[in-house]
Every structure is written in C-alpha cells, then in structure tokens.
Amino acid sequence: MAKKRQQPSRGGSSKMQGFIAGAGEIVQQDISETLRQNFMPYAMSVILSRAIPEIDGFKPSHRKLLYTMYKMGLLGSARTKSANIVGQTMKLNPHGDAAIYDTMVRLSRGYEALLHPYVDSKGNFGKVYSRDMAWAASRYTEARLDPICRELFQDIDKDTVDFVDNYDSTMKEPTLLPATFPSVLVNANTGIAVGMASNICPFNLAEVCRTAIALIRDPEADLFQTMQAPDFPGGGQILFDRDQMGSIYQTGRGSFRVRCRYSYDKSANCIDVTQIPPTTTIEVIVERVIDLVKLGKLKEIADIRDETGLDGLKITIDLKRGTDPDKLMQKLYKLTTLEDSFACNFNVLIGGTPRVLGVRELLEEWTAFRVECVRRRTYFDLQKKKEKLHLLQGLQMILLDIDKAVRIVRETEEEAEVVPNLMIGFGIDQIQAEYVAEIKLRHLNREYILKRTQEVEELEKAIAELESVLSSKAKVKSIIVKELEEVAQKYGQPRRSMILYADEVEEVEITQEVPEYPVNLFFTKEGYFKKITPQSLRMSGEQKLKEGDEITQQMEEQNSAELLFFSDKCQVYKMKASDFGDIKASVLGEYVPAKAQMDENERAVYMAVTHEYDGYMLFFFENGKVAKVEMSAYQTKQNRKKLVSAYSDKSPLAAALYVKEDQEVLLTASSGRMLLFHTGLIQPKTTKNTQGVQAMNLKKGQRLMSARLYEDGMLKNPNRYKKNLPALGALPDGEENAGEQLKL
C-alpha cells in the first residue's frame, strides 16, 4: 500500500523503492515482481523477435527486409536505391533506417559475409574482414534480390507458410520463408539475446543439400560422408579433428580452429596472406604483429602492410634475410589471430522455443518444416484445380445445348433471375451458373467451349496425382529430394575453405630467443653437468667434483646446442644448453637425473650434443653387438622432452658415442682383446631400438668393456687390430702394454 512521504529504507531488504512521477508519493515494490513485469517481457521479445534465427535460417529483421524487396519486384529486375528499400522496409520493421541498412549490408554480395548472398549489391558495401572499410550511405548504393532468393520465395503465394499482421495491422508478412534448401546451415548467423546466444557456422550449399537428401533416405546416414566440415566465405584452412567435429555435429556446441592461407614470394622475400579466419580483421592482425615486433618477439619481420584492393584481401609481411617463412608462420599462428577458434552454438527457434540442436536434428527439423510447406502447397494446388474442374464441368453441360442457354438468358426478364434459371435449366450449381453467365457473347461458340472442356481430363489426372501426393509421405519427401538436387546443381559452388587434418599439422612450440655465445660443456661419470663460459674457465682453478667422480665428456659448444642425455633405462631426455645456468668450475654442477626429472634409480650415462640432428648414434652392447642409429630418429615434430626405447634393451649398454661422420672406433673386451674398425662398415638404421650387428666375437664369460673414438698415435701398430667383422680382435703385444695410451 502506498505511504505518504515514506523515507527510503536503509536496511538490506529485498524490497526496493520506486518513485511515481507527479504523484508526490513513494511506494514500495517487490523487486522480483518488478523484474517479472518489465524485464522478462523484454527478454522474451529479444529472444523470440530479434536475436535468434528460426528454422528457415532468418531472423525477423532479415525476413522483413527480403520480403519487402520481393514485394517491390526486385527479384530479377533492375536495382533500385538502397534508401528506397530501407524506407519501404520500415512498413514492416519500425526500428529505424540505420538498423535496416546494417541488415542489408550483411546480406549483400559486396560485404562478403555470406557464402550465398541474398542481396545483389552495387556500390561500396564495406568488407566483413576490415574494421575500417565502412560502407557508403544508403543514398549512394543500389541493390536487388540475388537469383538464389527464388528458392526462398518459391510458392510463397500458395499458402505454404502462415502470414500475420505487421505492427500496425496495415499489411501482412510471412512468419517463415518456404526455403527449398536448409538455408539455416548454408549462411552464417550470429545473435546475442538476453541470457542466450546463437552462432551458426556456414556449410557448403551442395554438401548441405546432399546431406539433407542422405538423411531423408536414411535417418542413420553418416554425416561425414557428405559434409565433412564447415565452409567459410573468406576461405581459410580448417583444422579438422574428427572427434571434435563429431561433437559439434551431435550437440550443436563446440569449437574448431581456422587458419589463414598464405603464399611466399621468393623474389621479394615476403609472405602474402590472402585469406584470414572469419573471427578477425585485417587491422587486428596488423596491429598485433606490430606490437610483437616492438616487444622483440618477432625479430624476423622487417615490415607489414595492408595491400587489400580490388583483387581482394592481402596482407604483406616483409621478411629479414635468412628467415624461414614456414617457421615464421607457425609462430604467427600461435601469437596472432592468423589462427583463431570458431565457437559454435546452434541455437534455433523451433515453434517459438529456443533449442540447441546438432546438425542431424537441425536437418530433421528443416525436413519436417519443408514437408509441411510442400503439403500446404499441394493442397492449395489441389483446391484450385478442383475449383477449375468444377467450373469446366458446368461448361460441359452448356455444350449440350448452347441455344438453350442463350434462350434462357434472353427470355429472363430480371438480371437476378439469370443464374437461378441457368441452374434449373442445366442442373448445375450456383458457382457453375455464375461462371456460365459471365461468358462473353463472342465466346458462345462450340470451338471455345470445346477448348475449355478439353482440360477436364488433364485436370482429373492432375487432381488424382495431387491427392496421391497428399496421402503419401514418401512422395512428399521425393519432391523435396528433387528440389534439393536442383538447388545443389544450380547454385552449388566448390569449397572455399581447405581442410587440414589436425593430427598431420605440425605444431611448433614458441620459445624465447636464446642468447648465443660460446660455452664449455662438462659431463661426469656420476651424471653431473656443468656449463662454463670460456672467460670463467680461464679464471677458474681446479674443477670441483663429487668424491670418486670424474669428467667423461668435455667439449666447446654454443649456448643454443641441443643436449640428449641417454639413461641406463634405454630412455633419452632432450634439453638445451640454455636450460642450464652458467656456473663456475668451483661448483659441483647440476645433477642431470633431477633436472630432467628421470625415473627413480635412473642414471644418465652419455650426453650427445647436436644442432641439426645430423650424424649417427653408436651403441655398443656387452654382447659385442653395435647399433648405428641415425640421429634424426631422435628429432620429433612435437619437440618432446622424453623418448622411450632410445636404444635396445636386449643386452646391457657398454658405451655410446655420437659421430657426425663415420670414423674408426677402438673396442676393448674383458679378455683384453682389442678390435679397431671403421663405422662405415655398419649400416645405419632409423629404428632406435635396433639390436645392431655383431662386431666383436666374445667367448663365454667375456663381455665388451669399452668403446672410444680412435685417434692417431693411440696404437703403435693399428693394422694388427683391424679385422673383418665380426672378429675376436687381437691381444696387445709387449710394445702396446709398455705404452700409456691404452689406459682407460
């Protein structure tokens, strides 16, 4: 109840005060009731009458515009000023000329937002892929309906759809358009309502029609056989994942990635991007690249500019000398919207109710809608033919005696009695008599009447056929299938978006630029690693090692070098020299098993250092076998940090060596025998865990102890230890034993 001059409450009540203008009173209102009375009707209006498309693929604003153009006779005729169309559309859509013209722009051919535009435009209509290319005012542009609109309005005057009054009840407008193809899937549609949204991706027209036909013939048909992925008007490359796309087809929700398409101009050393994802614009891409260049994350780019013109979209990226264009594009995919996600939400109004449907359900709903359209059209044609047949049957009666009909008309004194007298004279009903009475005098000849009555037999056949169609759902569906085939043949276009299979796409990990400088690398028997700069090494004293430990590998390298740590569990762990910090010789170093997160009780036994993954890995096993594996076998596209089955586990590993080219290796067995051979005698393998070939024959109880690269001067008589493989090797003579070169 209203209270006189009541002060607003200061408490945390769920009530709120409302002011009644001019009443001078303050009344309390329940906030939930206020929302129910004001906000909820608004929300429902936005959902049902503005933002969410219906099964014919159109929002009300689209439908009102296209129907106005249809009634203006703009289908197949000359163009008219867009301002004229906008003004006429306001009779159905009273939302202002700007909103109507924006709708027309999006449906136009010039804007390039739709695979199959509905408005054939002339003039500047802007571009969907540019934020700054605005369209001209409606007084400067012209438009008409595109020929494909014939399929939208086919038989609309045959009671195929319902008509309702416009906002002021002065005109009628259709509630839906009787589209002969599933336009809801052919052209993209986006809408944001209150509390819900819709985002439908476009599909290729021919593929959609074939899929609809397949589902009509077999409700369990595999959609991917006829419609593998969406198709965007701007092209691009769709990264196809079967499971991901299957989820979208089934639920109507999900997302997939879309990449740009580009070409590399070698002569100009530049990349030309000609197609971009539908979710971005030229300006966003250019601005993002410029920002990344300023931040130092894209040092390979010299310049970027927008060269879009009459030939279409084009973004040119000038490269610095020595830049790999494909690797740069992989970085740009990760860092910019040249690769972007498209989120699907197939929310459609079905019978006034918003529903999120998968592709199969959406096509089933469209088929049900189209079945009703065809049945209503057939019934309309049937009634018209029956009415015409009824009139012609009355005309046949006149054929029996034309003179009698003339005499009846002439002898009837009052005009109002002509029809009743004809009814009595020929035994026909009032409708037939009215038709006969309206025949002109010049048509009262036998030839005219015979020509009219010849149609009776044809009409009877047509009526029988129409009645059979109405009584058979299979015949109705066959009509729909025939119409779909005609649409696909007449308006079908090749795919614009290329399909890339996601599991075949190379994913590049974006890494920060690593400073390049010389370093000295040390690896110890116990698995400790040190990276020391040359300057620090010169100033350092003795190397600090764990008690009982010793340095097994030492080399001069660069900070960008790749490190492969082979473990005693037949696994390899890949790292970079830059992953380790620079230290001093007086420091123990980093423990590799802990740094690489090796398994429990797993030890690092060998370190291979590479840049280009060239050369070979040599594995020497205690049973005397040698495996030669190409280093490229350890290079992976995904840049994995850990690889299992790095070498064979059939026999314990005695030693491992990395060589860039074949050279001589010296083997030593537990028996003291030594064998010198050239690694070129061993055939390389791409299989990492190959068992290898027998190099050194061993007697029972013996095993291979060590392997090392041979250097001149290590043996006084090297030819003594060279044998044809496999071989026992040779025992060192007194001279060799007297030397110190053989101490391991």
**Pairwise CA distance, residues 393 & 399, whole Å:** 10
Distance, first Cα to last Cα, the chain: 104
For residue 174, what are its two tokens?
């259709």
Q: What is the dihedral of CA 248, 251, 252, 254, to 10 degrees?
A: -50
Helices 473-491, 455-471: axis angle to 10 degrees equals: 100
**Pairwise CA distance, residues 695 & 656, whole Å:** 14
Count of C-beta atoms within a 10 Å radius of residue 333: 20
CB 312 within 8 A of CB 490: no
Q: Is residue 448 annotated as a catalytic residue, yes or no?
A: no
**Pairwise CA distance, residues 422 & 232, whole Å:** 66
**Pairwise CA distance, residues 613 & 563, whole Å:** 10
> Which sign does the torsion angle of CA 650, 656, 658, 664 carry?
negative
User: Parallel, antiparallel, or unpaired for β 253-259 and 339-345?
Assistant: antiparallel
Strands, sheet with 270-275, edge to edge from the N-terminal-most edge strand: 261-265, 270-275, 315-319, 301-306
| Of 334, 231, 329, 234, residue with least CA distance to 281 | 234
| Of 620, 613, 623, 621, residue with least CA distance to 643 | 613
Q: Identify the helix (H) or strand (E) that includes residue 499.
A: strand 498-501
For residue 532, what are its two tokens?
């020391």
**Pairwise CA distance, residues 389 & 467, whole Å:** 14
- In this structure, which amino acid lies at residue 643? L
**Pairwise CA distance, residues 296 & 512, whole Å:** 10
Task: Determine which one of 42, 140, 167, 517 is catalytic.
Answer: 140
- In this structure, which amino acid lies at residue 360? R
- In this structure, which amino acid lies at residue 125? F
> Which sign does the torsion angle of CA 213, 217, 220, 221 carry?
negative
> Which sign does the torsion angle of CA 214, 216, 217, 221 carry?
positive
> Which sign does the torsion angle of CA 154, 159, 164, 169 carry?
positive
Report how far apart, in Å, the C-alpha atoms of 709 and of each of 402, 629, 651, 677, 680 are: 123, 17, 22, 10, 13
Q: Where are the beta strands (DSSP E) in 14-87?
A: 15-19, 26-30, 80-81
Classified as helix, coil or strand, 500 is strand
Question: Max alpha carbon distance in the chain (Å)?
Answer: 154
**Pairwise CA distance, residues 498 & 259, whole Å:** 9
For residue 687, what are its two tokens?
């299989």
Active site residues: 140
